[in-house]
Amino acid sequence: MAQKIRKAVFPAAGLGTRFLPATKASPKEMLPLVDKPLIQNVVEEAVNSGIESIVIVTGRGKTAIEDHFDISFELEHLLRERGKEKVLKQVRAISEMVNISYVRQREALGLGHAVLQAKDSVGNEPFAVMLSDDIVDSEVPALKQMLEVYEKYDAPVIGTMQVVGEAISRFGVIDAKEVSNGVFKIDGMVEKPPFAEAPSDLAIIGRYILTPDIFHELEDTTPGSGGEIQLTDAMRSLLNKRPFYALRIQGTRHDAGDKLGFLIATVEYALKRTDLAPAFKEYLRSLQL
């Protein structure tokens, strides 16, 4: 029987260079989808998937993330005094939704290096890794979909999506055989292959369920360009020792770490809001595009 996944690691120490100058002094993870920070959307996905504890890997200039998930006595006092009970509940719920701890990544040396910083916090148990600029809009939370696969096969699971055409070369890509509807047994992984050499149209996205032996592989992984330790390299090495599976996630994935992807996600999420959608639709219809 598969060991329960209780913890999720959120790498959040990146410099957010694709969003400069907005991210010069503010974490990209705090960019709002309408009125909710990117990272909060993904933390909620984790909680709705049954995660009990979250480890956020931060770096310099990221204290706004810690403040966001902490209690704000002054703000709550002000809201209470002004009788804004509904907003007060929303604010308090953020600090109460899940147990969150923080570890520091002193240098931004790649996704694999960020995950490795959480080794002591995770301990000897399987865990999830979730990237907060990968927003998945789905009926069943993306991580929950993956947990069902993990529980069936008792093995690491990677979240994937179908990418058609040249765009596949921007992703890690899996070479895999379908074993059931949307579930694949992985034979290999390639990081950002040329379109002509991509082994499939299945791209790796920012959702992973990993076993603790990944930490040993990360420690032994040779840094690549820029001294970065890549998670894909460590997973490829571990693939020689244990089976890996992938799930084609049901839902719409938005790359909110990209300016265009972020704008598209903002529009999509605004149109889902009953308080905003009617007026926003009218505005969009009025545009002479």
> Are residues 119 and 215 in contact, defined by beta-carbon separation less than 8 angstroms?
yes
Give kind and range of the element (H or E) at residue 203. Answer: strand 202-210
Contact 134, 253 (CB under 8 A): yes
The secondary structure of residue 222, as a DSSP letter, is: P
**Distance in angstroms (rounded) separating the CA atoms of residues 10 and 47:** 13
Q: How far apart are CA 243 and CA 156, in angstroms?
A: 7
Query: For residue 31, what are the CA distances in angstroms to 38, 65, 253, 258?
Result: 6, 11, 17, 12
The pTM for the full model equals: 0.93
DSSP conformational letter for 3:
P
What pLDDT sits at residue 248?
97
Flag residues of the chain having pLDDT under 70: none
Each residue of 145-203: pLDDT tens digit? Answer: 999 999 999 999 999 999 988 889 888 899 999 999 999 999 999 888 888 888 999 99
Three-state secondary-structure class, residue 67: helix
The domain segmentation of the chain, as residue ranges, is 7-286
Here the tokens at position 32 are 């709002």
Please report, for residues 43, 145, 221, 245, 247, the alpha-carbon distance to residue 153 in angstroms, rounded to integers and kept in the order given.
25, 13, 26, 8, 12
pLDDT for 270: 97
CA distance 155 to 65: 31
Tell me if the domain spanning 7-286 has CATH number 3.90.550.10.
yes
Note the pLDDT of residue 225: 72
Q: For residues 241 and 239, what is the distance between their CA atoms, to the nearest angstrom?
A: 5
SS (H, E, C) 6-34: CEEEEECCCCCHHHCCCCCCCCHHHCEEC
